[in-house]
Structure 1
Amino acid sequence: MRIDLHSHSDASDGTCPPGEVVRRARAAGLDVLALTDHDTTAGHRAAAEALEGGLTLVPGMELSCRRDGMSVHLLVYLFDPREPELARERAMIRGGREDRARAMVERLAELGVPITMERVAQVAGGGVVGRPHIARVLAELGVVGRPADAFTPEWIGSGGRAHVRRYAPDPVRAVRLARAAGGAAVLAHPKAAERGRTVPDEWIAELAQAGLTGVEADHPGHDAAARAGLRGLAGDLALAVTGSSDDHGDLTGHRLGCETTAPEEYERIVAAAKGASPIA
């Protein structure tokens, strides 16, 4: 059984519609796929409608959090999307993303970049607006060679000339909100050094106390040492260990299934969630 528990569609910052993500997952030989767009469940219905060939869909999202100026991301699976507290938090986060995007576009314009919010919104295609959409427009304009080059101090990287912070909850609060909504929370790519600062082990222990279900160890951004360290820590804290592609379509080279989760770890996550069920 091949299980990928982290993927994105154009409901947030992926490049493919949810239905296409599902079709690509089946073509990649996956049996289980979690759709985890940033702070939204907007792609779940279209993904479920595209299911065929025995693929199981795990409805989820990647919840944006922040602590001490650092982004921390939680993968939340099988929660009740109607639960009011978590729904309000998602709305606040999405609103913060929109406000930040407008402020960043304004800063870029002040730096002489001929960028508009209208074009960023077009690239987002109605999905949750994020920095990757701004980065794609910067590449389109020839300001940077490729979207990844925008995430530097020169442009929209953390602390960069056009970077703007946005609202995001502390991850401990987010874990508790996820659990109250019946979901299972897994810490996404905690040791991906390419993203900047990494999540300290002490924070992971604190999140485990708050109700964290697992950690994403096998991720394209983790080297062998990071994976081994996370597995050891997960064992000490009685956390599940997941592996996922974190696929964003064209932006990541269509890598669905490049990392997978063991069936027994997947079952631990499903057992911990009470808000919804996988869709077959």
Structure 2
Amino acid sequence: MRIDLHTHSTASDGTDTPAELVRNAAAAGLDVIALTDHDTTRGHAEAIAALPEGVTLVTGAELSCRIDGVSLHMLAYLFDPDEPELLAERELVRDDRVPRARAMVTKLQELGVPIEWGQVARIAGDGSVGRPHIATALVELGVVPDVSAAFAPDWLADGGRAYVQKHELDPFTAIRLVKAAGGVTVFAHPLAVKRGRTVPETVMAELAAGGLDGIEVDHMDHDEPTRARLRGLAADLGLLATGSSDYHGSRKTCELGEYTTDPEIYGEITRRATGAFPVPGAGGRRS
């Protein structure tokens, strides 16, 4: 059983539509895929409608959080998307994305980059605009060779020359809200140091005490020693250890199913969730 619990579609900053994503998951031999767009559940309905037989969809989102000045991402699975308090917070984050992106474009222009808002808006399309869309614009302009290179201090990294902070949840609040909505929380790529500052293990322990369910261990931004360290930390803190691709379509080099989650861990996630249930594929037809 092959399970990938972290992917993105055009509903946020991926390049596959939700329908394309689930079809590509089937082609990649996945049995279970989670759709975890940034701060939105807007792609779920399309993914469910197109879900091929033999593939199960886990509905979710990747929530933007910040603690002690450090950004982090919280994967939330199988929560009730209509729970009012969590929905309100997701909308606050979403509504802040456009002003924030416009401010980053202005900063880049001040740095001499010939970027225009219209270019970024075109790249984002109907998705929730974010740094990957601006990074793609920088690639198009020849400023950087690839999207990853844009996430450097010279450009879009946390604290970088063109960085602008957005509204983000306190992670303890995020855990509380997701649990109240019947969901399960997993700290995404917690030691991805190439993305910028990461939270110390003491904070991870506090999050575990605050109700965190798991940490994402097997991820493209974690090398082997980091994965071993995180696996030991998960065991010490009683946390679930997941693996995921963090697939963004052509925007990143990772492939669907590049890293996967153990079926027993997946089973425990579904057992803990009460806000929603995994959706089995119906061959792209819903009756």
Q: TM-score range by the shorter chain?
A: over 0.9
Checking the alignment, whether the CA contact within 8 Å between 1:61 and 1:75 is kept in structure 2 is: yes
Cα distance in 1, alignment partners of residues 153 and 199 from structure 2: 21
Q: Deviations over 1:76-115 (max 9, x none)?
A: 0000000010001001111222221011111112222222
Residue 128 of structure 1 corresponds to which residue in structure 2? Answer: 128
Cα distance in 2, alignment partners of residues 212 and 153 from structure 1: 30
Say yes or no: does 1:151 pair with 2:151.
yes
- TM-score when scaled to structure 1? 0.97
Say yes or no: does 1:174 pair with 2:198.
no
Q: Deviations over 1:47-79 (max 9, x none)?
A: 111111310000000001011221110000000
Structure 2: tracts of 5 or more residues without a match = 281-287
- TM-score when scaled to structure 2? 0.94
> 1:9: how far off?
0.6
Cα distance in 2, alignment partners of residues 165 and 273 from structure 1: 32
Number of residues paired by the alignment?
280
- Report the identity percentage: 59
Say yes or no: does 1:234 pair with 2:221.
no
Matches within 5 A, 1:144-223: 144-223=144-223
The RMSD of aligned alpha carbons is: 1.2
Checking the alignment, whether the CA contact within 8 Å between 1:213 and 1:272 is kept in structure 2 is: no
Secondary structure class of the residue paired with 2:164: coil
Cα distance in 2, alignment partners of residues 144 and 246 from structure 1: 22
Structure 1: tracts of 5 or more residues without a match = none
Residue 75 of structure 1 corresponds to which residue in structure 2? Answer: 75
Residue 139 of structure 2 corresponds to which residue in structure 1? Answer: 139
Residue 99 of structure 2 corresponds to which residue in structure 1? Answer: 99
Cα distance in 1, alignment partners of residues 221 and 112 from structure 2: 33
Q: Deviations over 1:189-220 (max 9, x none)?
A: 00112212223111111111111111111111
> 1:278: how far off?
0.3
Cα distance in 2, alignment partners of residues 219 and 142 from structure 1: 28
Cα distance in 1, alignment partners of residues 254 and 27 from structure 2: 11
Checking the alignment, whether the CA contact within 8 Å between 1:136 and 1:147 is kept in structure 2 is: yes
What code does the residue aligned with 2:79 have? F
Cα distance in 1, alignment partners of residues 272 and 109 from structure 2: 47
The runs of 4+ residues in structure 1 deviating greater than 3 Å are: none
Checking the alignment, whether the CA contact within 8 Å between 2:246 and 2:254 is kept in structure 1 is: no
Cα distance in 2, alignment partners of residues 198 and 226 from structure 1: 13
Cα distance in 1, alignment partners of residues 175 and 80 from structure 2: 14
Cα distance in 2, alignment partners of residues 244 and 254 from structure 1: 10
What code does the residue aligned with 2:131 have? R
> 1:121: how far off?
1.4
> 1:254: how far off?
5.1
What code does the residue aligned with 2:11 have? A
